Every structure is written in structure tokens, then in C-alpha cells.
Amino acid sequence: MSLRKEDVYETEDLPEDDQQMIEDEINESEEIERVHIDVDNAMKRFKGRLLSAENVDFSDSIVRRKRCGYGGGSYVLEVIGPYADETETLEQKFTRLNCEINDLAESLQEQKASEKSDTCVVHEEDLIAMLETLKALQMNKNNITTCVQSEKKDDKTQSATPSAESNIVSGRLAFLENRINRLEQMIDGVGAGYDESMKICKIPIAEAIEDLRMRVQLLHPAHVDGLHSRITQLLSKFQQVEEKKKEKGDSEFEEKVDKLYEMMNRWDVACTGLSSAVKRMYDLRKLHEQAEHFSEKLSQLTGIRSQLAKTMEREEMMLFDFRQQTHAALEKLGADIARLEERINKLNS
């Protein structure tokens, strides 16, 4: 095998256009319809929707229990019938009651909006109390889950009546705790106004009562006299401080006024000579403009002078040449005249 030569892979002799390309045969049926799917529209339409296959049960069993299908992204309320072998857990009861009470509240609001409250049997106060009870139960959700886990470990022979009684007792206790919390929130200063009485005070009732007892003890005449004397002293000191502040403010104001007066006097002197200074500046600007024009004209004159000097030099050179030419012509003419005179003299003789 040669290492220096390149590997050459030869194809068939026929060109690519003439080769027989094997295509996959697709059997299309008339009953199957091709549908074009837009991916963007599908993503926008089915965004946030999930399909869960957990705990799916499609078995054909004789056990009387609810079959579980594919789950979606939203919560599905499951209601177990009376003929099922499984019992409804506390969490399922809680979610079912919560959903039912919310639906009842929405229907009550719709009935109020439609102005048919005369025929309504359900009162809004009862509905609010039920919602508060559910909220109090929701605060103890961890206890409910622990109860569910302990309920799975208990024996199946336990009756349903004690659990119902315990649920009723726990609901009443939660309602009482909710009322106590509301009372603790409404506790505040007795002598305050309406706005201050609506403030929320997050302290227990015992501490609030102790605070009120201390305030009542402070209303003893001896304490009141001492407080009155202290308040009068504070008021006198406050008045003295205000007088000092006023005196200090008056002195500072007078100093500022004096500074402004001195500044105005300086500006008066400057303003008197301002017109003459402006006039001088205006004349100086005109002088500068005239000097600029004079310099421009002087530069033009120097240019003309240089041009005239050049023309004079040229004329002098031309005149010198003309003189030489005329001198040569006169000398030649004199020579010619002398020759003519000689010939004339020769002819006369």
C-alpha cells in the first residue's frame, strides 16, 4: 500500500444524470389526508399544556376503583363514589371543598350582579366564615399530610365516625384560632383616633393587656404632675431655642442684605462706565475692520507694484533691443549713403 498516493474512489461509468437512482416507494392511500401543520401556531395554541402518563390505569380489573387516564397540565378534581372500595382522603376532601366554595362564591357574585338577591338563601357572612375556616385549615397543611400518612398505616377496621368528629373539632379550633388572630390584629391604643385604631398590632393578648395596665398606672396624679412639669420645661426650652433661631436667622438675613447692597454699589459704578466702554469697543471694532480693509488694499497695491515693475523691466529690455536695432540700421544706412555719394562723385567726374 502506497502512503504517498491519495485514495481514489471510482464511481460508475455513467454520468449522474443517466444513473438509475432507486427511490423509496411510498404507498399513499386515498383515505389518508395530508395536513400541513404550522409549528408556530401550534406552539402558541398548545403552550403550557402537558400530557402526563403517571399512574395510568387502563386495566380491565374487577376491583371497584376509579380508572386513571392520561393527565393534563391542569388539576382535575376527582370525586370518589359511594360504591368505590377506596375512601376519600383528607387532602381530596380539602381540595373538593375549596373548589366547591369558590364556585359558590362566584355564583353568588353573579347572582348579586343580576339583581336577584331576594331569592338567595345562602348568606355572604356564612360563606366568608367557611372560607376563613378553609384558610385556617390550609395553614395546617403539613399536619394534614402527616395525618394522611398516619391514616394509611392505621387498621382498616377503624370506623368513619371518630374521624368525622375529629375533623369537626379541628375545624372549630381553627375557626376559633382565626377569630383570636383577628382580635389580636385589631388590638391597638384605646385613646387613638380612627386611623390609628385600624393599625395591626402583632402581639399576643397577654402582652397587650400588660401594656394597657402599665399605661393606666402611668395616669396616676403624681406621675401626671411630674409629666406636666417636664412638659412645661420642655416647652420653655423649645421657645428659647426658637427665639435663638429667629435671632440667628435675622442676623444672617441682615448680613446677606448688606452683601447684596455692597454688590449693587459695585455694579452701579461698573454700569456708569459701561456705556463708554461699549462705545470704545464699538470704535475699536470699526478700527479693526478698517485695518483689515487697509491691509487687503495694501496687499493689492504691492501686487500691482510688482506687476508694474515686471512690465517696466520688460519694456526696458524691449527698448534696449530697439535701440540696438535702430543703431545698426542707421549705421548700415550711413554706409549705404556714403557708397551712393562715392558713386555719384565718380559719375560726376
Residue 139: pLDDT band by 50, 70, 90 thresholds? low
User: Residue 35 — left, alpha, or beta (φ > 0 → left; ψ -120 to 50 → alpha)?
Assistant: beta
Residue 20 has pLDDT above 70, yes or no: no
CB 50 within 8 A of CB 72: yes
pLDDT at 157: 44
Give phi and psi for 67, each to the nearest 5. -75, 145
User: In the chain, where are the structural domains located?
Assistant: 51-149+164-185, 187-219
Quick: pLDDT tens for 72-119. 554 445 555 555 556 667 777 777 777 777 777 788 778 777 765 555
Please give the grid coordinates belonging to residue 296: 487687503
Count of other CB atoms within 10 angstroms of residue 174: 19
Q: What mean pLDDT value characterizes the chain? A: 74
What is the DSSP code (8-state) at residue 11?
-
CB 151 within 8 A of CB 90: yes
CB 70 within 8 A of CB 56: yes
Residue 302 has pLDDT above 90, yes or no: yes
Residue 63 has pLDDT above 50, yes or no: yes
Pick the residue with more confidence: 44 or 171? 44
pLDDT at 159: 46
- Length of the chain in residues, anyone? 349
Pick the residue with more confidence: 103 or 279? 279
Among 66-80, 272-286, 301-315, whose mean pLDDT is lowest? 66-80
pLDDT at 71: 60
Rounded Cα–Cα distance for residues 81 and 87 (Å): 9
Determine the average pLDDT of the residues in 211-240: 81
Which residue, among 38, 34, 71, 26, has the nearest Cα to 52 in the 3D structure?
A: 71
Rounded Cα–Cα distance for residues 97 and 103 (Å): 10
Please give the grid coordinates belonging to residue 43: 406552539
Residue 197: pLDDT band by 50, 70, 90 thresholds? very low
pLDDT at 137: 67
Rounded Cα–Cα distance for residues 161 and 271 (Å): 106
Among 197-201, 251-255, 279-283, whose mean pLDDT is lowest? 197-201
pLDDT at 215: 79
pLDDT at 319: 93
Determine the average pLDDT of the residues in 303-331: 93
